[in-house]
Amino acid sequence: MEKALKLVNILGLDPRKNDTFSKFRSIFCFTILISASFSSHLEFFLNFKGLETCERAAESIIPQYQTMCKMATFLLYKTEMLDLIKKSERFWKLDRFGDLQAKNLHSTYPIFQIFFYVYVVILFLTCAMFALVNWIFDTGKPISLCYGESEGLETPWVEFYIVLQSVEVTIIFLGITGYDMVFLYYAGSVCIQFQMLKMAFAERKMNERQFLKAVKHHEFLLQYVEQLGDIYSMWFLLQYFSSLFGICFGLFLISKEGLPTEPERLSKYFPYIFSFTMQSFTFCMTGTMLSDWSSEISDEIFHSDWSDDQVYKNKTARLIVMNRAQRPAKISIGKFLDLNLRSFILLMRSVFSFLAFVNNILNRIN
């Protein structure tokens, strides 16, 4: 959690901090993003040059909007996020069931950490490629769409936009990565807790007091996931449709001149498409793990030794918990879809349908 919050803290958005310098950093970051976005919109509406302007606008404005919305989450839901951080202190310790089980649980954490690091590296490479591709291929244009680029920029505006947009790309990387990492930490920690609950209900020597603690912890985790969904649900809807639009438009830009495409176009838009795809897959995969691991509690209780005296004594409570656990913990995408791999498959189906449609149109034109 600390690693994710360190990224967010650079932007002044750490929910635990409310000092003046943090407020200054957050205002500075929003000012940079709003200024860059305002310049992009001015160029789009006042100097529209057809598909070329749309191409530049898509690669510039979508990440700007996505970053500003994700950063705004830390301000709009600061109290709720701080509450989640405090409630995470109630999570069971990994050594609760002995050293052997703690070792097994500890082996799960590196998987999440490796996944997080790979995710960060992919986002970093995407931002780096986005920033450097114009310089590598000497396109003569700034990093992202800005006012006046179609008419040609001169000193000092060239230097001004280089500095502004370099800072903007850095903020986009930190904002998106920090937001995503905080969510992945929350979800990953809850998944581990569900695994520990599964171990608790599998314990044959569990007395009534321990059983009640496990039941209360299960209820706590379900409420925790519900609160997490209240914060992230609407933003996942934005993420879903921005990813859909970004992937579709990126594929269109790659294939519009026919396949195979030019190296410049491929190196510019493939990381762009891959980044959106990776983001969507990561969230949907996490949602699936959350649902699957929470529903395993019901199976564990079902396979209990019902002939055991202690189990039989708590049979009614166990049946209630089993019935409740059959409705898995889940997070929705704006009350529109559940956050799981089915949603990702639906996203990719829509993308491939769009690609087939575009190729059909281009073949007819040619």
Tell me the per-residue pLDDT of 103-129, one tens digit each, with 9 for 90 and over: 666 666 666 677 777 778 888 887 777
pLDDT for residue 106: 60
Mean pLDDT (10-residue bins), the chain, 366 residues: 82 90 93 92 86 78 88 90 90 73 62 74 79 66 82 81 88 89 87 84 74 85 91 88 85 71 72 84 89 84 69 71 78 88 92 80 68
| CB of 167 closer than 8 Å to CB of 309 | no
pLDDT for residue 27: 94
pTM assigned to the model: 0.85
Phi, psi of 337 (to 5 degrees): -140, 160
Residue 188 carries which side chain, given as an amino acid letter?
Answer: G
Give 306-313 contacts, CB < 8 A, sequence gap 24+.
308/204, 310/204, 310/205, 310/206, 310/207, 310/208, 311/204, 313/208
pLDDT for residue 343: 93
Interhelix angle 51-76/208-255, nearest 10 degrees: 160
Positive/negative CA dihedral, 53, 55, 58, 59:
negative
Residue 24 carries which side chain, given as an amino acid letter?
Answer: F
Q: How far apart are CA 342 and CA 291, in angstroms?
A: 12
Q: How far apart are CA 190 and CA 223, in angstroms?
A: 11
Beta strands in the chain (DSSP E): 332-333, 337-338
Q: How far apart are CA 49 and CA 43, in angstroms?
A: 10
| CB of 363 closer than 8 Å to CB of 260 | no
What are the Cα distances from residue 18, in Å, to 13, 26, 32, 79?
9, 11, 21, 11
What are the Cα distances from residue 156, in Å, to 2, 48, 162?
40, 23, 10
Q: How far apart are the first and last CA of the chain?
A: 53
